[in-house]
Amino acid sequence: MSDLLHLDLLNEGRVLLAFSGGVDSTALFHLLCEHKIAFDIAHVNYHMRENSDAEEASAIALAQKHSMQCHLHSCHLGGANFESRARDERYRFFNYLMSKHGYTYLLTAHQLNDRLEWLMMQMCRGSGLPEMLGIRSHDKRDGIEILRPLLEWDRESIEAYLHRHSIPHHIDESNADERYTRNFFRHRFSAPMMREYRDAIRRSFRYLEEDNDALIETMDFTTIDQLSYAHNPSSLRSLLYGIDTFFKTNGYLLSQHDKEALKGGGEHIIGRRFVVSIDTNYTFIAPYEHSVVMDKGFREECRELKISSKLRGYLYGAPRAYDVMRRLKGALTPLRFD
């Protein structure tokens, strides 16, 4: 393997690389340099390991050597569920950088082994095809456009590249700890399979992406103020995937209970924060406002237009969103804005 994915896009915009200094991100750093891609790096120091400060210093030195910006974030995340909280913390940092400095794409160094491990873990959780392909080469999260140029490289090829060019890098000793679910799958299953079948696995992922794109219809949400809506796709599977993707893109993960409840259509409260209303033609998502006092005329019109009762609290204080809702519901008279 020698090619990076999405080289055309990488040459178009401003690029920020999420850089840990480990095997994968170090290889991607040097491959981007080889392809003369202009980029900066972002490094997060969690202070969780003995080498954390040394990795930060190496990131600074590497950026200076190549005349690029190194954005740093330092945090201490104690307690349980570290991996999830660390992921949320770094994406808040990335989102801030993308907005402040106008970067077009965030690059992460996920590779083929990561993808196989993710698929295996999702399979063991009873997930469907779109969830199994959760690591995509071109994706969005929290409004960030993400590219993963290394996604067709396997770990062995990446390590061989670093060795061939004598490129120094850091080793995360926690990768050997099988108490972490991903590490368990990596050492027991994905690494042996990748050594034996990597070309076939690479091809299979390409076919699976093509099959997924053919089976799953996209839901294109439009947002007015804080009301988002999309025309419903023809299949329930596409509908559920579209709603799930909307929430993930906006930084919220639906629970399995939420997903099961949405299968029945109708209106649902999500995390006491959002309303999802699925009607015949459209799906609506808005903040959940449950203690709003509404006048009789508003309530009566909502009833006549069959607007979800749980959406009304938000719509009462959002006239432009309400006007959009009225038009989608077939109201004949426009709403006046005084």
pLDDT digits (tens, 9 = 90+) for 224-266: 999 999 999 999 999 999 999 999 888 888 998 999 999 999 9
User: What does the buried/exposed string (b/e) look like for 27-38 if buried means 16 or more CB atoms within 10 Å of the residue's CB?
Assistant: bbbbbbeeeebe
Averaged over 144-173, what is the pLDDT? 93
Averaged over 320-324, what is the pLDDT? 95
Residue 157 sits in the same domain as residue 278? no
How many Å apart are CA 299 and CA 311, to the nearest integer? Answer: 11
Averaged over 196-211, what is the pLDDT? 94
Residue 142 sits in the same domain as residue 38? yes
Report if pTM > 0.85: no
Averaged over 164-188, what is the pLDDT? 78
Tell me the torsion sign for CA atoms 20, 88, 83, 262: negative
Using the 3D structure, point to which of 187, 214, 241 is the last residue of a domain. Answer: 214
What are the helix and strand counts (H, E) for the chain? Answer: 14, 11
pLDDT band at 338 (very low <50, low <70, confident <90, very high): very low
Using the 3D structure, point to which of 168, 184, 214 is the last residue of a domain. Answer: 214
Residue 171 sits in the same domain as residue 205? yes
Using the 3D structure, point to which of 186, 214, 242 is the last residue of a domain. Answer: 214
- Domain with residue 189: its CATH number is 3.40.50.620
Residue 154 sits in the same domain as residue 69? yes
- Average per-residue pLDDT for the chain: 91
Per the structure, the count of domains in the chain is: 2
What's the pLDDT at 301?
A: 94
Answer yes or no: is 38 within a domain. yes
DSSP per residue, 239-302: HHHHHHHHHHHTT-PPPHHHHHHHTT-EEEEETTTEEEEE-SSEEEEEE---S----HHHHHHH
How many Å apart are CA 319 and CA 248, to the nearest integer? Answer: 27
What's the pLDDT at 82?
A: 79
71-85, 86-100, 156-170: segment of lowest average pLDDT: 71-85
- Residue 98 or 256, more confident: 98
How many Å apart are CA 125 and CA 119, to the nearest integer? Answer: 10
What's the pLDDT at 335?
A: 63
If residue 105 lies in a helix (H) or strand (E), which one and from where to where? strand 105-107
Residue 205 sits in the same domain as residue 308? no
pLDDT tens digit string along 36-71? Answer: 999 999 999 999 888 899 999 999 999 999 999 999
Q: Which structural domain range is residue 264 located in?
A: 222-328
- CB neighbour class for 261 (10 Å; exposed up to 12, middle 13-18, buried from 19): middle
pLDDT greater than 80 at residue 182: no
Residue 44 sits in the same domain as residue 100? yes
Name, of 76-80, 83-87, 148-152, the range with top average pLDDT.
148-152
CB 233 within 8 A of CB 239: yes
Q: pLDDT > 90: what percent of the chain?
A: 75
Residue 183 sits in the same domain as residue 236? no
DSSP β-ladder status, 274-278 and 282-287: antiparallel
How many Å apart are CA 114 and CA 104, to the nearest integer? Answer: 24
Helix axis angle for 296-305 and 319-328, nearest 10°, is 30
